[in-house]
Structure 1
Amino acid sequence: MIPKINGRTRYSNSVKKHLRKIKPWQAGAWDKQNNNIKLLKTQLRNQLLILQNSKCAYCGLDFNETSSSELEHIAPKGGLKIPKYLEFTFTPLNLVLACHLCNSPIKKGTFDPVIHYSQNYKECTFKIYHPFFDNPDVHFDYVFSGFGMIVQNKTLKGRDTIDLFDLNSAAHINARGRNKLMDILKAALEETQAEEILTSTSLTSEQIADILKSTTYKKTL
């Protein structure tokens, strides 16, 4: 499910010193191949993998379900030709890990997620779900559809997030359904049995439902 990130990332003193030195941040600063920027990205990635439990900040799927993780700017930094929110290029609260399905430039394109701008990042408001600031339960709900799981919006922000990242693509729906079904099966069966059921091509959804009904649950769902 779509996560809320609790906590925040922090840079080492050497990285902070470098960021102060290169202020104001310019277009292309993120892509510099110097040791400080490489260290910054390593620190971010390692901390975010823990904070996000190795799940995409937008769709909530495990990275190995969809694609590898990518560092993502919520308020976009833009590029050399069309820079955007350069002042937030290295702002920790503006950086998350996303899967390639969600972070594709084709999806975000020229979209500007910022509704109200402030030089103080925490005072900005966003058109889409913000993993650090928003509660996902307020904006999203989920329903099974066959073996898949569809995400539904509860708010306009939820709707715009679903539309922007195409969270109901076939790949998202199928991976989300598999993850949820695995959770349910693990609660009812041994993990190896659950894996066998999900990888079996001979069982229908009705047969899986019968297995669940006839099994004594070991855990509280």
Structure 2
Amino acid sequence: MSFGPSRLQPLHDDILKKYPGEIARFDAGELEWKSTAFDELKKALRLSLRAQQDGRCIYCRRKITIERRNAAEDIEHFLDKSKPKYKKWAFSAVNLALACHPCNIQKTTRDMGDAAVSSASTLTGNSGEYSWIHPYFDDYFDNIEIVDAWIYLVKAEAPRPERARKMIKDCLLDQITNIEAGKVALFDRIVRIQNLAVRCFEKDNFVRGKKLMGYAGDYAKNGWKFI
């Protein structure tokens, strides 16, 4: 099972270069991030990042539901754009990713860089120390392992163990196992019923097999109401 790329590439840099005027006005304080002048840019960014991230949150790596008005996902600024010291990187390709809304809420406006990052003139992996696994400068799966239905572990011999540990803790990734437990239980029940149906068909018990497949279909269709 793929959980998306180990790290992102700034493939959307060409998108940002199409809007130099708007970005300059943002830097000058004439436009805000929520301005409608950025609607087309944000749409293009979402499409590019969704494709690169395989539709997954950059932090928890769960699939992001495509919702009305993009309510389930946020364009994420790793270094928070609302902080004056990070405003200069609001449209930096290596500061942008997609996060699910719950992860973005947990991250809130945490300061993700140390003093060296704050004062850096360029944003690179050597600009300073980052608090979490960086989407572009760190390899996610060299540092974090996802096992057994969304259990997050700091990987043995991780190059950035403190970043990994802090991200798991701050983002409450250790709670996702319980959140997803209902979905896992429903899936397991459907599989068990289908396996029983197959055995019935193998024994030419077609009546019982069809009935079991009907049960499996009902769970698949209506089970979401109970999770």
* In 2, Cα distance between equivalents of 1:17 and 1:64: 31
Return 5+ residue gaps in structure 1 as ranges.
Answer: 202-221
> Which residue in the other structure is 1:112 paired with?
111
Q: In structure 2, what is the Cα distance between the partners aligned to 1:176 and 1:25?
A: 48
Q: Secondary structure at the match of 1:22?
A: helix
Residue 15 (structure 1) shift:
3.2
Aligned residue number for residue 205 of structure 2: none
What TM-score, normalized by structure 2, do the two folds share?
0.65
What is the aligned partner in structure 2 of residue 76 from structure 1?
80
Aligned partners of 2:4 and 2:54 also within 8 Å: no
- SS of 1:129's partner is coil
3-state SS of paired residue (2:44) = helix
Q: 1:101 and 2:102 equivalent? A: yes
Q: Would you say the 8 A contact 1:72–1:98 is kept in 2?
A: yes
Larger Rg belongs to: 2
SS at match of 2:84: coil
Q: Secondary structure at the match of 1:70?
A: strand
Q: Is the 8 A contact 1:108 1:165 kept in 2?
A: yes
Unpaired stretches in structure 2, ≥5 consecutive residues:
156-160, 199-212
Alignment identity in percent? 23
Partner of 1:208: none
Code of the residue aligned with 1:149 in structure 2: it is W
Structure that is richer in strand per residue: 1
1: CA distance, partners of 2:20 / 2:133 = 31
Aligned-pair distance for 1:5? Answer: 3.7
Q: How many residues align?
A: 185
Task: Quote the Cα distance in structure 1 between the aligned partners of 2:29 and 2:123.
Answer: 17
Partner of 1:50: 51
Q: Deviations over 1:167-202 (max 9, x none)?
A: 112x455438958x97xx7xxx99x989968x879x
Name the structure 1 match of 2:208: none
Shift of 1:44: 0.6
Partner of 1:33: 36
- TM-score normalised by L of structure 1: 0.67
Alignment pair present for 1:161 and 2:167: yes
Write 1 or 2 for the structure with the bigger share of helix.
Answer: 2
Matched residue, 2:180: 175
CA contact (8 A) 2:26 2:33 kept: no
Give the AA of the match of 1:108: K
Change in 2 beyond 3 A, CA 1:130/1:85: same
Residue 219 of structure 1: aligned partner:
none
Matches within 5 A, 1:1-221: 1=3, 3-7=5-9, 8-12=11-15, 15-19=18-22, 21-22=24-25, 24-26=27-29, 29-34=32-37, 37-64=38-65, 68-78=72-82, 83-104=84-105, 107-115=106-114, 116-117=116-117, 118-122=120-124, 123-125=126-128, 126-144=130-148, 148-154=149-155, 155-169=161-175, 171=176, 173-175=178-180
Per the alignment, do residues 25 and 108 of structure 1 end up closer, same or farther by CA in structure 2, a change over 3 Å counting?
farther
Coordinate RMSD, CA, aligned: 3.8
CA contact (8 A) 1:2 1:58 kept: no
Higher RCO (C-alpha 8 Å, min separation 6): 1
Question: C-alpha separation between the residues in 2 aligned to 1:13 and 1:97?
Answer: 16
Which residue in the other structure is 1:209 paired with? none
